[in-house]
């Protein structure tokens, strides 16, 4: 195992996949000469040249469409959208072309394209730079959606996504690029489907993804130390498809559930997990599941207001205590 930062793990995956297959290219704003806004492509321009590490204009719809079109011909593009806030501009290409082309062509064409983008609230970036768009991408049939919670997943998911014949959207969180963790020394390919058990427990399941996994782990420590409640933490790194069996399996063991997400509650990951719980293990529940979500407002710029809008580990603890009638 090697300890590295989240961005370093993503950079290593890029480097290995570019070296492995000459049909892999990287496209995006500032991915080349600058090396990426978050250093995830640093040094690749010098190593592989401008025909494989391509700086694009600020035109998300255009370069995403070019990459998707190239994928029809056997190219395997890794497209970086500098900020998920601007993925709205590329949604036509993603939702109407990449995700549908195999079905509409009767299997004659595929779009083996990876689209990765940072998002989330990242300390006073304001409403237009703090989007949590995972719920949007989850709703696109034909698109895989994954979201790594640490360097190991960031490395392994990108490598698996590059070699997948389906279009894959990788949702990264801006606050996690300097997060440090262990990554296998050899090549590692993380499954694009499933969930991970981040902590074992018996009394309640805490569901999280990317940054909220860490809130859940922090909350689990407090619950065990101060309240004698042993929380199980499940990392929902694959958002589409969600791991229905894994979600049901954990709650059938603990009989209570709290879902933590940084995004607003309506039509979100938490809502979908609650639907699965209702459909798959309603009679296993000893209490109604609860969601810990952002306030349903545009993320404010002012630091105190931003903090008030975004949930945290303390709110996860309070939700669990409410399930047990201790709030």
Say what the pLDDT of residue 193 is. Answer: 98
Tell me what percent of the residues of the chain surpass a pLDDT of 90: 95
Between CA 242 and CA 240 the distance in angstroms is: 5
Q: Is the pLDDT of residue 48 over 90?
A: yes
60 is catalytic: yes
10, HSE (Cβ side, Cα atoms, 13 Å)? 33
The full set of domains in the chain, from first to last, is 2-183 (3.40.50.970), 196-323 (3.40.50.920)
Between CA 56 and CA 270 the distance in angstroms is: 35
Say what the pLDDT of residue 1 is. Answer: 87
Q: Is the pLDDT of residue 305 over 90?
A: yes
Please report which confidence band the pLDDT of residue 123 belongs to, taking 50, 70 and 90 as the band edges: confident
Q: Is the pLDDT of residue 154 over 90?
A: yes
Between CA 45 and CA 50 the distance in angstroms is: 6
Q: Taking the model in full, what pTM does it have?
A: 0.96
Q: Quote the DSSP letter at residue 299.
A: P
The partner residues of 257 in beta bridges, in order of sequence, read: 205
Say what the pLDDT of residue 22 is. Answer: 98
Please report which confidence band the pLDDT of residue 126 belongs to, taking 50, 70 and 90 as the band edges: confident
Say what the pLDDT of residue 130 is. Answer: 86
What is the mean predicted confidence (pLDDT) over 133-144? 96
Say what the pLDDT of residue 102 is. Answer: 96
What φ, ψ does residue 216 adopt, rounded to 5°? -65, -40
Between CA 193 and CA 260 the distance in angstroms is: 20
Say what the pLDDT of residue 103 is. Answer: 96
190 is catalytic: no
Say what the pLDDT of residue 179 is. Answer: 96
Concatenated DSSP letters of 212-235? HHHHHHHHHHHHHHHH---EEEEE
Q: Is the pLDDT of residue 77 over 90?
A: yes
Say what the pLDDT of residue 122 is. Answer: 86
Tens of pLDDT along 258-283? 999 999 999 999 999 999 999 999 99
What is the mean predicted confidence (pLDDT) over 107-136? 92
Catalytic member of 8, 17, 29, 60: 60
Question: Do 86 and 56 form a contact (C-beta atoms < 8 A)?
Answer: no
Residue 241: asked if its preceding bond is cis (omega within 30°), the reply is: yes
Of the candidates 84, 173, 172, 96, the one whose C-alpha atom is nearest the C-alpha of residue 129 is: 84
The H or E element containing residue 25 is: strand 24-28
Please report which confidence band the pLDDT of residue 137 belongs to, taking 50, 70 and 90 as the band edges: very high
3-state secondary structure 234-252: EECCEEECCCHHHHHHHHH
Q: Is the pLDDT of residue 327 over 80?
A: no
């Amino acid at each position: 195992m090697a300890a590295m930062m989240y961005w370093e793990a993503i950079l290593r995956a890029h480097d290995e996949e570019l070296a492995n297959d000459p049909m892999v290219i990287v496209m995006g704003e500032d991915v080349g000469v600058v090396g990426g806004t978050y250093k995830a492509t640093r040094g690749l321009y010098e190593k592989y040249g401008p025909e494989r590490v391509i700086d694009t204009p600020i035109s998300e719809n255009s370069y995403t469409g070019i990459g998707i079109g190239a994928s029809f011909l056997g190219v395997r593009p890794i497209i970086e959208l500098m900020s998920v806030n601007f993925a709205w501009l590329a949604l036509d290409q993603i939702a109407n072309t990449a995700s549908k082309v195999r079905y509409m062509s009767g299997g004659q064409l595929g779009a083996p394209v990876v689209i990765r983008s940072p998002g989330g609230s990242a300390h006073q970036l304001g409403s237009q730079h703090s989007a949590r768009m995972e719920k949007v991408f989850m709703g696109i049939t034909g698109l895989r959606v994954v979201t790594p919670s640490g360097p190991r997943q960031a490395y392994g998911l990108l490598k698996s996504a590059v070699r997948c014949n389906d279009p894959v959207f990788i949702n990264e969180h801006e606050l996690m690029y300097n997060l440090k963790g262990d990554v296998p020394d050899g090549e590692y390919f993380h499954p694009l489907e499933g969930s991970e058990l981040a902590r074992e427990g018996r009394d309640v399941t805490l569901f999280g993804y990317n940054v909220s996994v860490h809130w859940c782990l922090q909350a689990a420590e407090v619950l065990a130390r101060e309240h004698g409640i042993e929380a199980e933490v499940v990392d929902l790194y694959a958002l589409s498809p969600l791991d229905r069996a894994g979600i049901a399996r954990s709650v059938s063991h603990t009989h209570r559930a709290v879902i933590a997400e940084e995004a607003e509650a309506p039509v979100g990951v938490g809502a979908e997990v609650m639907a699965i719980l209702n459909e798959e293990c309603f009679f296993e529940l000893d209490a109604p599941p609860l969601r810990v979500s952002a306030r349903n407002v545009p993320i404010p710029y002012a630091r105190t207001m931003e903090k008030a809008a975004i949930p945290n580990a303390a709110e996860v603890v309070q939700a669990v205590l409410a399930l047990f009638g201790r709030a």
